[in-house]
Structure 1
């Protein structure tokens, strides 16, 4: 995934929406790239008592994109979208989940999220969330907060898997 770093001078004075989208894409890219250079075993390695693995984090992030930007904008049910009913289930790995397939699904979900919000303003309401109507501004902030948290988890897990190095080759 490619993104414009949030530290680029052009971002400092960009519109609020452009800044949100830059930060979102920066974190999307970091989470996606946390799987780069890992073996399938390393990506699936369980290092904590929860279901959290590096591969599971990226799979969960795909779920997050679809909840907030597909369910949220289209009002389709999770069953119609083809995603689990609960966030916890979104970490479940199946035999056909590979680094390549999970990264591909995540790239597709992120691209779909961008398309779904392209014509919306930050004040437009997303009507499909279980909490009720939410402004896009709040959804962007919530998603950014969640992605930042998961990027931190991924950094720690990757360091553990690689034995102290975090290079994303």
Structure 2
């Protein structure tokens, strides 16, 4: 059975994993310099997008769903700070952190029902909402990254 005709949970998890794969793949075939290059006025870089996606996984699944305090996860206070790279960050280290965060998110989600709710500053949200929110957010960021990668690769030609 393919996920396109599977039950709701399999569909949500499969769509989310597709977007996770797209985000991780943004770093394929880029140099360290290209991955850090700013092509827009904001802090957005390809490497920064993947670092931000790690933040998103940790905020939604590790903090909200699993209930781990933000400070214990080492999460920055603002979304903007999640794009800031440390000097020692590399493609390998950022990708590894992202993949590890995704794996932990899968483990956390597996322990809960889709209808279970979790606190959010706008009110309680279900695990179903968390999955759908991450599909949308990661798809948006993967699209941003695709454009940046296209620009970086065009400079090579």
Q: Deviations over 1:54-107 (max 9, x none)?
A: 000000000000000011123232111111111110000111110000000000
Aligned match of 1:101: 93
Partner Cα distance (1:79, 1:59) in 2: 17
Aligned to 1:145: 136
Matched, 1:71 2:70: no
Asked if 1:133 is matched to 2:117, the reply is no
3-state secondary structure, aligned to 2:2 = helix
Superposed structure 1 runs of 4+ greater than 6 Å apart = none
Q: Supply the distance in 2 between the matched residues of 1:76 and 1:115 (Cα, whole angstroms).
A: 14
Q: Report which of the two has the higher share of helix.
A: 2
The corresponding residue for 1:6 is none
Structure-2-length-normalised TM-score:
0.94
- The aligned runs of 1:12-23 (5 Å cut-off) are 12-23=4-15
Of residues 28, 37, 45, the one that matches 1:36 is 28
Please report how far the alpha carbon of residue 122 of structure 1 lies from its aligned counterpart in structure 2 after TM superposition: 1.0
3-state SS of 2:112 partner: coil
Deviation at 1:164, TM superposition (A): 7.2
RMSD across aligned positions (CA): 1.4
Question: Structure 2: any 5+ residue segments left out of the alignment?
Answer: none
The number of residues matched between the two structures is 156
